[in-house]
Structure formats: C-alpha cells, structure tokens
Amino acid sequence: MKLSFISLLLFLQSIFALQIPVYKLIKYEHQGVLYGSQVSSLKLAGAHYKNVEEIQRKMALVHASDLHLTLFHVILANKPGALLIILEENEPEKIRDIELYLGTHRFYFPIFFTFQTLEIMELYEQLYWLKGDGIQFVLNSNVEAEGLRNVTLENYYGFLNDYDEALPTVVLAAHYDSFSIVPELSFGMDSNGSGVIALGEIAKLLKKNLINSKPKYNVLILFNSGGNDNFIGLQRWLDSKAPDLKHAINNIAFALCLDTIGKSEELTFHITRFPRKDETELINLFSGFNRTASKYQISLNYFKKKVDLVDNYIPWGHETFIKKKIVAATLSHLERPANSTLEKNSIYDRKSNINLHILEKNVMFIYEALVRFLDGDHENAQMKVQAKLSSDALGWLKKFSSHSRFPTKIVSGSEFLILFRDYVREALGNNMKLQKFHGSDDVYFDTKVEILNSYKMKSKVLDLYIFLYVVIYLLLLWISVKYVGSIKFITSKKSRHKNFNHQY
C-alpha cells in the first residue's frame, strides 16, 4: 500500500510540476550603493508579459527575443512580483541594452534567467492563454545573505628564462577573471578567456624558442586577477614589494596585454601614443607586428587614446602600466575602448562566441611578431612552428568554458583557482609565482544555480485527477481482492498499476 501511494505522488508530480534551473541577476555594492536584484526567494503565480494587466504581484515571464528597453519599462511599470527572462542559445538583438540597464539599477524583487527548453516554452505558451492563478512558481533560495567583502585574489606570474639582471624585461599579461550581470553565466570566453589561452600557448612556444637563442630580454608572463575591477590586480602587482619583482618592474621595456582576441581577424593595437623617432626599439616592435600581420593576412589597426587620469573607469590593462610610465599596449579585436565593465562583458560571451581557427591564427601571429622583436632579428625570423593550438589548450578552453570566473568564484581557495593553478604551472613550470592581494571595496554576493518549481494545475482540476485516480485504484484493488485472491495480490497490484500509468 505504501509503495502505491508514493508512486501516486510521484506520478502526480511528474504531470503537474516542472523544475526549472535558473540563474539570478547580480547583486553587488559599488561605492556604498547596492545594485541588481536584492531578493531571491519567491512564491507567486505566473503571468505572460503580454497579459499586461496580469503582471502585478506575479512572476512575469518574458522571452529575451521579445525584450527591449521600452518593453522592459512597461513591465516594470506594472509592478511584477518577480521576473523570469527566457534566453535562447543565440544572442538576442537587444540583450546588451537590457544587460546594461539591469546591471546599473536596483530591484526589490527577484530577477532570474533561464535557457529555453521545450517544456519551458510550453509553459510560457500556456501562461498566455491561461489567465488567473493557473500556474504557481516557488523558489526557496539558499544563497548567502552576506556579501563577500575584502576578498583575497591571486595573480600568477613567472619568467620564461632565468632572470638576468642585466637585461630589460618584456611583460606579457592577460587577466583571467570574468564578469557579467549573471554570476553563474560569467564565462567570458572572448573576454578574457581567449587572452588567457593565447598567453598560455605563447608562453609555451616562447619558452622553447628562448632555450635555443641568446635572449635580449627577460620575458615575464602574468595572469592577473581583478581585471574587471579597474585592473586592481595589475595595480597591486606593479606595487609589489617582492625584491625579485621590484628590480624587473623597474626595468620593463614593454608590456603587452592580450585581450578579446578569439573572435576576429581584425585586431587593434590600443596605445597611448606612437613611438618617437628615437625610440628604435618600439618602432621595431610595431613594424615587426605590422609585417607579421600582413604575412598572416590579419588587418592590424591602431587606436590612440590618452590615459584619463580623472575618469575612474580604466578600459584597458595597459593603462595601468602607462600610469607607472611604462610603455605598454593592449591587443584586442575591439576597435574602441568600452565605456564600462558591463558594456565590455556579456552573458553571451560563451564558448560559441570564439572562433578556434581565428584564435589559433592570432596566437601564431602574436608569437611570431614577438619572436621577431625578442630576437632583435626582425628581418630574418625563421619560424618553424606548427600552426595549431595544442590539444592541451583545447582541453583547457573547454574547462574554462564551464567555469564562471565571476569575482566571487575566483577567490583564494576556490574550485576555479585550483584548476587554474595547474594551467599556469603547465606554462611556467617551477618558475610560477603567486601574489595574493585584496580586491577593491566593492562587495559581491555569491549565487548558485537554483531550482524554480512550477506547479501547473490549480486545485479544482488537480482534485478531479486525484479523485479519479483514487476511485480507479480502489476499484482495481477491489477486483484483485475479489477475483485474484490474496496470494497474488502484491505482484498483480504492481503490474496493473504500471499499465494504468501508461494510459495517462
């Protein structure tokens, strides 16, 4: 008997409930002001956004492909109790505007995202026709109420050669953190996963090359954190008091930051000025890049922007070096610097957002141009490299694309950093060094993937189903007792029960 009732409950649940994995909108504090969605739990009826008069105090569902800023304001004006935005695999047209708005305002109701599935779209459709309280949604959030303050972050760096005090140093950097308005979806594969993979590959290639040549520079590789927090990781690194670093930092010939380079064969050098006539070293560097670009049929552009000392948003990592009077540039496919961290990042920056072939080509291009420069033999550089990403790199790319690198996910001791340390060690070997530092005063609230339960049927229909089920069940029970006899009772009941389920 007990078994039957459990199966009855399971059976009912499978018909009436849908469990939807959802991703919460960011919640963070910047300069003492809270942004994003402040609430996580809910117990509300649902409403399709098109039924505008239904939205109030309900959970409004809207598909991202319909969403634009004006519509968003209409929905807000109707005071929803919660909002669920259904995303599709491909990037919807107006999503960037919405991301920017959601990330820069405060909401006192839960806002969640989910990816569309057949079941969710069916539910969405039903909501449109089924007005009233037809479908209920429940989510009991178990996220930390406390934000993460004063977190410990980590920079990883190391020389590719044995450090030689007599030589100037070339720094190659990429930040490995990522950002978006949905912490669970902050994969940042172009920004800056591509930079991280490229830097790892370039490091391995350069290391081989340095063994066979007499280096004219020390080459330092830096994977920095806090890149979406005004490059605080780079600032801390440049301020490092470690004796081995101090000497090198005071003798940096050039720092190159790698950015979003996995998407386009048009790359832009972001610089603060062109080299002066007497700066032969720099002229050689850029002309080497120019020539290598034409060999690879990459169109290389230059964008000049002065460092804005007043503006508190730092668009590129190289500006942090410039402020320390170190010559530096960022290489990116973005033609213009972004106006804010949110503008630069998107929940749609996923693995599909980068093109492996292009990333591969860009890696080879940068490697070759760097070798021309480092060897000082920019005319006759003989390149004998296999033009392919290593299978390791592909594996790492895959791993990175399944880990969010949002600020709360990359603090000291986090699952991602354990993984990432292995990645860096592969590139730098025993030369790998670690710098721990404290982030800015911004406070981030951690999130998890949560389950939103929806219950499709309201009591009257549900009651009818339960009533019918019980009647038929009792009838079968009566028949089995009466005609089949008590010995076969248990087994026969089970099999009948199964058949019965199938009919539904």
Ligand X SMILES: *[C@@H]1O[C@H](CO)[C@@H](O)[C@H](O)[C@H]1NC(C)=O
- Site residues (CB under 6 A) for ligand X? 150, 173-175, 191-192, 195, 224, 227, 257-260, 283, 286-287, 290, 302, 316-318, 330, 336, 338-339, 343-344, 438
d(CA 436, CA 18): 44
Q: What would the DSSP string read from start to end of 174-201?
A: EE-----SSGGG---IIIIIIHHHHHHH
Q: How far is the CB of 382 from ligand X (least distance, A)?
A: 21
Query: 62 vs 196, which CB is nearer to ligand X?
Result: 196
d(CA 395, CA 475): 59
Q: How far is the CB of 192 from ligand X (least distance, A)?
A: 3
Query: 126 vs 240, which CB is nearer to ligand X?
Result: 240
Q: How far is the CB of 308 from ligand X (least distance, A)?
A: 13
* Crossing angle of helices 69-77 and 95-103, rounded to 10°: 50
Q: Please give the distance of CA 481 from its chain centroid, rounded to a whole number.
A: 61
Q: How far is the CB of 222 from ligand X (least distance, A)?
A: 8
For residue 89, give the 3-state DSSP assignment: coil
d(CA 481, CA 476): 8
Q: How far is the CB of 468 from ligand X (least distance, A)?
A: 59
Query: 257 vs 424, which CB is nearer to ligand X?
Result: 257
Q: Give the full edge-to-edge strand order of the sheet including 252-258.
A: 299-304, 266-271, 328-332, 252-258, 169-175, 218-224, 152-159, 433-438
Evaluate whether 170 touches 217 at the Cβ level (below 8 Å). Answer: yes
Query: 62 vs 197, which CB is nearer to ligand X?
Result: 197
Q: How far is the CB of 402 from ligand X (least distance, A)?
A: 20
d(CA 101, CA 79): 17
Q: Please give the distance of CA 76 from its chain centroid, rounded to a whole number.
A: 27
Query: 5 vs 302, which CB is nearer to ligand X?
Result: 302
Residue with the CB atom nearest ligand X in the bound state: 317
Query: 13 vs 340, which CB is nearer to ligand X?
Result: 340
Query: 209 vs 224, which CB is nearer to ligand X?
Result: 224
d(CA 311, CA 318): 15
Q: How far is the CB of 341 from ligand X (least distance, A)?
A: 8
